[in-house]
C-alpha cells in the first residue's frame, strides 16, 4: 500500500501535461500587454504630435509678448496651457501642464515646455496606467527697431484738400506704426501702449529744407565760407571794391550779414558741394560742411530786392543826365512832341564829390537807370540819374549791408516755416509736426530726400538714428510729392541771375551744373532728377535704407524718377487723387509694421 502511494507521487511529479495551461494563462496576459503596447504607444504619439503642434502654435502666437515691459511670464504660461488643452480637445484622461517659460528678450526667444500624460488601455494590465511625454517648442523673432523718415512735399501746389489729405494719411500711418491703430488722424490714441521700437522723423520740404535754428552753433555749419562751394558763391555774389573786373576773395561771415541786416537765420540750408549734395558723408572737413542759407539782396527792381543798392556805407556813384528839348507841344493822341533843338548836360557824383561835366557824357556802356523826372512846357527838361556801376556790381556790393537801417526777412527768402523733426519715439511730437505743415513755395525733392537720409543715419548733422545694423534696425525713407523738381520762384531765364536764389544759389553761379545745361525749366528739372536718383542710390546701397516713393498726379518724367529712386517698382506708388493718399500710407505702414517682427 505504501509502495503504491509512493509510485503515484512519483508519477505526478514527472507528469508535465497540466503545465501548459498554467504557463499559457500567465503568458497570455503578457502577450496581450505587449501587443496592446503598440496601440497604446501609437495613441500616445498621436496625442503628443497634436500637443506639439498646439505648443508650436502657442509659442509663435505668444512670442511677441516677451517684448512687453514688464514681461508677464505667468500670463504667457497660462495662455499657452489653455491653447494646448484647447487644441487637444479635452481627450479623456489626457493631461498637459506647462513648465515655467524661458524668456530671452535680448535674442527674441521664447521657449515653452509641457509635460503630457496619456492613459493606457493595454499596458495597464501589467501595471502601467499612463505614458508620459515631454514636448518643447522655441520661437525666435527679433524685435527690429524701425526708423522712418517721412519726406513730405509742402510746396504751394499742395494747398487745400491735398495738404489736408496728406496730413490725415501721414498721421494715420504714424499711429499704425506706434500703436497699431488706424483712422485717428493727427490724434494720439488713448488706453493703448505704444510700440517701443519705433522712431519717426518728418522732413517737410519746399524749394528749401528748414532744419531749425537749434543747430546754429554746431561746428558742421559753414558760416565763414570755408568750403569751396560757399567761397565760390561769395566770389560770384559779393564784392567789396565796386570793380566788377576784380573778384572778391573774402573772407565773409554770414553771421555778420545777418547781424548787419538785423535779421536772424531761420534754419534753411544750402546744398553741399558735389558729390556731397547726394551723400551722407560726415561734415568733418570744410568741403563737406553745411552752408546756412543767406539769400543776397538783388539789384533794384529785381526778385529779391530788400536793400538800397546805395545804402549802408556805400558811396553814391552816379551820372545825372539833363536833357532839354525845345518847341514842344502836347497831343492827346501822341503825347508830347518836340521838334526843336535838344541839348544834354551831365553831372558826375562819387560820394560827396560832384563834378559838372557840361556836354561831356559820363554814362557807362550799359547804364542802369535809378530815377527820372520831367518838366513840361514848350521846353521840356528830363532829368535821369544813372548808376556808374553795372547791375551785377550793384547787386554784389557788400557795403550796402554794413550799417543799413533796413531789415527784411528776405535774407531767408523761400525758407519754409515747417521744420525738420529728427527721429523721435514721441508720437505726439511727430503728429504735431505733420499737423503744422503749410503749403507754400516751390519744389526741391532732391534736398528733401537728402535730409531724409541724414535723419536716418547716426552721424552728424542729425544724430538721433541708431547705427546701421542689418537684422536689428530697419531704416525706411518715404518720399512724397505732387510736383516735379523745380525750385525757381524768380524771374525766367532772361533775368541776370537766371533764377531766384535756391539750394545751389543762382543758376548764374553754376553750382549744380553749367549754365547751358540748366538754362530752361526742363533742363534744370532733369539735372535735379538725376541728383535725386543719386541720393536715393546712395541711401539704398551705402546706408541700407529702404526707399518708398509716392507721386501724387505725377507726370511721366517724375514717375520715372520716383520709380528709379524707390527700392523696387513695388515700393513706388502713384495715386491720381489726394483722397487716395490714405490708402497708400496705410499700405506702406502695414508693410513696415510687419517688419517690426522678423523671423
User: What's the rounded mean pLDDT across residues 560-582?
Assistant: 97
| Residue 354 pLDDT | 96
Give pLDDT tens digits for 427-452: 999 999 999 999 999 999 999 999 99
Give pLDDT tens digits for 113-161: 988 887 875 656 655 667 778 889 887 766 678 999 999 999 999 999 9
What is the percent of the chain with per-residue pLDDT over 70, rounded to a whole number?
87
| Residue 493 pLDDT | 46
**What is the pLDDT confidence band of residue 249, given thresholds at 50, 70 and 90?**
confident
**What is the pLDDT confidence band of residue 29, given thresholds at 50, 70 and 90?**
low
| Residue 491 pLDDT | 46
| Residue 490 pLDDT | 53
- The CB-side HSE value for 59 (13 A sphere, CA atoms) comes to 26
Strands (E), 211-307: 268-270, 291-292
Secondary structure of 154-223 in the HEC alphabet? CCHHHCCHHHHHHHHHHHHHHHHHHHCCCCCCCCCCCCCCCCCCEEEEEEEECCCEECCHHHCCCCCECC
**What is the pLDDT confidence band of residue 358, given thresholds at 50, 70 and 90?**
very high
| Residue 381 pLDDT | 92
| Residue 427 pLDDT | 97
| Residue 503 pLDDT | 94
User: What's the rounded mean pLDDT across residues 27-41?
Assistant: 56
| 39 or 57: which leads in pLDDT | 57
**What is the pLDDT confidence band of residue 8, given thresholds at 50, 70 and 90?**
low
At 199, give phi and psi (nearest 5°).
-140, 140
Which of 395-399, 463-467, 495-499, 544-548 is predicted with the least confidence, judged by mean pLDDT?
Answer: 495-499
| Residue 36 pLDDT | 52
| Segment holding 79, helix H or strand E | helix 73-88
Length of the chain: 599
Residue ranges per structural domain of the chain: 19-140, 145-303+399-598, 317-396
Crossing angle between the packed helical segments 161-179 and 581-595, to the nearest 10 degrees: 20
Identify any residues that bridge with 114 across adjacent strands, giving them in sequence order.
Answer: 98, 135
Residues contacting 539, CB < 8 A, separation 6+ = 280, 449, 452, 453, 456, 477, 545, 547
Residue 532 near residue 561 (C-beta atoms within 8 A): yes
Residue 170 near residue 434 (C-beta atoms within 8 A): yes
Give pLDDT tens digits for 315-332: 999 999 999 999 998 888
C-alpha span between 333 and 237 (Å, rounded): 46
Cα-only R_g, the chain = 42
**What is the pLDDT confidence band of residue 19, given thresholds at 50, 70 and 90?**
low
| Residue 16 pLDDT | 57
Exposure of 397 by Cβ count < 10 A (0-12 exposed, 13-18 middle, 19+ buried)?
A: buried
Mean pLDDT, the chain, as a whole number? Answer: 87
Burial 203-237 (b: 16+ CB within 10 A, else e): bbbbbbbbbeeebeeeeebbbbbebebbbbbbbbb
User: What's the rounded mean pLDDT across residues 453-460?
Assistant: 97
| 11 or 463: which leads in pLDDT | 463
Which of 9-18, 96-105, 483-492 is predicted with the least confidence, judged by mean pLDDT?
Answer: 9-18
User: What's the rounded mean pLDDT across residues 361-378?
Assistant: 86
> Cis before residue 299, ω within 30 degrees of 0?
no
**What is the pLDDT confidence band of residue 39, given thresholds at 50, 70 and 90?**
low
| Residue 306 pLDDT | 93
User: What's the rounded mean pLDDT across residues 102-107?
Assistant: 79
User: What's the rounded mean pLDDT across residues 213-234?
Assistant: 86
C-alpha span between 321 and 199 (Å, rounded): 67
Q: Enter the C-alpha cell of residue 518.
A: 540748366
| Residue 24 pLDDT | 47
| Residue 478 pLDDT | 99
**What is the pLDDT confidence band of residue 97, given thresholds at 50, 70 and 90?**
confident
145-303+399-598 folds as: Rossmann fold (3.40.50)
User: What's the rounded mean pLDDT across residues 464-471?
Assistant: 89
C-alpha span between 109 and 105 (Å, rounded): 6
pLDDT at 364 over 60: yes
| Residue 492 pLDDT | 46
pLDDT at 94 over 90: no
| Residue 88 pLDDT | 75
C-alpha span between 518 and 511 (Å, rounded): 11
User: Residue holding cell 552753433?
Assistant: 217
C-alpha span between 525 and 444 (Å, rounded): 9
| Residue 122 pLDDT | 61
User: What's the rounded mean pLDDT across residues 191-212?
Assistant: 95
| 5 or 54: which leads in pLDDT | 54
414: left (phi over 0), alpha (psi -120 to 50) or beta: left
Give pLDDT tens digits for 507-535: 888 999 998 899 888 999 999 999 999 99
- Averaging pLDDT over each range in 90-99, 123-132, 355-364, which range is the top one? 355-364
User: What's the rounded mean pLDDT across residues 168-175?
Assistant: 97
pLDDT at 407 over 80: no
Amino acid at each position: 500500500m505504501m509502495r503504491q502511494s509512493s509510485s503515484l507521487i512519483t508519477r505526478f511529479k514527472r507528469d508535465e501535461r497540466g503545465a501548459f495551461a498554467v504557463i499559457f494563462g500567465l503568458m497570455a496576459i503578457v502577450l496581450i500587454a505587449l501587443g496592446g503596447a503598440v496601440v497604446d504607444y501609437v495613441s500616445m504619439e498621436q496625442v503628443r504630435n497634436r500637443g506639439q503642434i498646439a505648443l508650436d502654435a502657442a509659442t509663435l502666437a505668444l512670442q511677441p509678448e516677451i517684448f512687453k515691459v514688464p514681461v508677464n511670464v505667468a500670463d504667457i504660461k497660462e495662455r499657452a496651457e489653455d491653447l494646448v488643452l484647447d487644441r487637444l480637445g479635452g481627450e479623456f484622461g489626457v493631461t498637459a501642464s506647462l513648465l515655467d517659460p524661458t524668456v530671452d528678450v535680448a535674442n527674441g526667444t521664447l521657449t515653452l515646455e509641457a509635460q503630457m500624460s496619456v492613459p493606457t488601455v493595454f499596458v495597464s494590465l501589467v501595471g502601467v496606467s499612463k505614458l508620459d511625454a515631454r514636448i518643447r517648442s522655441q520661437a525666435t523673432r527679433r524685435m527690429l527697431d524701425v526708423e522712418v523718415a517721412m519726406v513730405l512735399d509742402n510746396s504751394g501746389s499742395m494747398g487745400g484738400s491735398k495738404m489736408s489729405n496728406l496730413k490725415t494719411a501721414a498721421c494715420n500711418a504714424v499711429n499704425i506704426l506706434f500703436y497699431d491703430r488706424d483712422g485717428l488722424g493727427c490724434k494720439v490714441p488713448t488706453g493703448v501702449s505704444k510700440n517701443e521700437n519705433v522712431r519717426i522723423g518728418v522732413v517737410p520740404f519746399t524749394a528749401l529744407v528748414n532744419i531749425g535754428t537749434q543747430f546754429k552753433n554746431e561746428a558742421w555749419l559753414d558760416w565763414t565760407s570755408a568750403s569751396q562751394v560757399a567761397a565760390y558763391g561769395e566770389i560770384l555774389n559779393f564784392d567789396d571794391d565796386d570793380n566788377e573786373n576784380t573778384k572778391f576773395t573774402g573772407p565773409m561771415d554770414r553771421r555778420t550779414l545777418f547781424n548787419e541786416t538785423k535779421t536772424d537765420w531761420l534754419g534753411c540750408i544750402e546744398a553741399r558741394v558735389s558729390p556731397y549734395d547726394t551723400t551722407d558723408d560726415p561734415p568733418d572737413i570744410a568741403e563737406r560742411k553745411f552752408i546756412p542759407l543767406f539769400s543776397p539782396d538783388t539789384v533794384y527792381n529785381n526778385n529779391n530786392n530788400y536793400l538800397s543798392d546805395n545804402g549802408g556805407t556805400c558811396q553814391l556813384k552816379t551820372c545825372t543826365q539833363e536833357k532839354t528839348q525845345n518847341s514842344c507841344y502836347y497831343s492827346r493822341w501822341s503825347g508830347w512832341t518836340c521838334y526843336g533843338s535838344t541839348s544834354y548836360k551831365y553831372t558826375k557824383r562819387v560820394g560827396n564829390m560832384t563834378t559838372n561835366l557840361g556836354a561831356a557824357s559820363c554814362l557807362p556802356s550799359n547804364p542802369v537807370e535809378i530815377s527820372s523826372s520831367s518838366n513840361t512846357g514848350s521846353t521840356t527838361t528830363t532829368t535821369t540819374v544813372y548808376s556808374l556801376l553795372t547791375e551785377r556790381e550793384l547787386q554784389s556790393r557788400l557795403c550796402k549791408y554794413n550799417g543799413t537801417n533796413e531789415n527784411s526777412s528776405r535774407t531767408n527768402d523761400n525758407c519754409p516755416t515747417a521744420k525738420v523733426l529728427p527721429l523721435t519715439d514721441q508720437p505726439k511730437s511727430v503728429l504735431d509736426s505733420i499737423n503744422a505743415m503749410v503749403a507754400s513755395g516751390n519744389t526741391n525733392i532732391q534736398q528733401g530726400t537728402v535730409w531724409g537720409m541724414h535723419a536716418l543715419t547716426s552721424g552728424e548733422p542729425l544724430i538721433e538714428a541708431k547705427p546701421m545694423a542689418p537684422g536689428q534696425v530697419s531704416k525706411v525713407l518715404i518720399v512724397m510729392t505732387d510736383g516735379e523738381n523745380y525750385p525757381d520762384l524768380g524771374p525766367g531765364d532772361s533775368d541776370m541771375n537766371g533764377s531766384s536764389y535756391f539750394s545751389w544759389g543762382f543758376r548764374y553761379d553754376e553750382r549744380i551744373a553749367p549754365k547751358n545745361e540748366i538754362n530752361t525749366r526742363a533742363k534744370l528739372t532733369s539735372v535735379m532728377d538725376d541728383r535725386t536718383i543719386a541720393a536715393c542710390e546712395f541711401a539704398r546701397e551705402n546706408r541700407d535704407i529702404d526707399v518708398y516713393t509716392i507721386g501724387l498726379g505725377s507726370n511721366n518724367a517724375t514717375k520715372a524718377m520716383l520709380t528709379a529712386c524707390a527700392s523696387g517698382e513695388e515700393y513706388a506708388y502713384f495715386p491720381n487723387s489726394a483722397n487716395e493718399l490714405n490708402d497708400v500710407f496705410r499700405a506702406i505702414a502695414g508693410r513696415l509694421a510687419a517688419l517690426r517682427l522678423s523671423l
